[in-house]
Amino acid sequence: MNTKEIYTIELISQKKEEKRAEIQASQKRMQHISQELFSPTRSDNKIDSMMQHINMGIAAYDGIMTGIKVLRRVQSFFSQKRK
């Protein structure tokens, strides 16, 4: 049997609202997951908290030093072409 569904304005607006609710629920779920993934862990004692701060400082220093080395390498390529 070939039955066609008749689309009315009410049916279309109802489906639109359902999809909007699905999108909002999915957005909230994705936001919650990303917060769980990227939020720093809570430490129970002061030693763990201090070690976490030290590790973050070392990572920042390492990132800055790597960036400086990359910039120097790129600058050396451009300064060699001028000579």
Whether the model clears a pTM of 0.75, i.e. scores above it, the answer is no
Model confidence pLDDT, tens digit, residues 59-80: 999 999 999 999 999 998 888 7
Token duo for residue 57? 């400082």
Q: Are residues 40 and 51 in contact, defined by beta-carbon separation less than 8 angstroms?
A: no
Model confidence pLDDT, tens digit, residues 18-50: 999 999 999 999 999 998 888 777 778 888 888
Alpha carbon 9 to its chain's center:
38
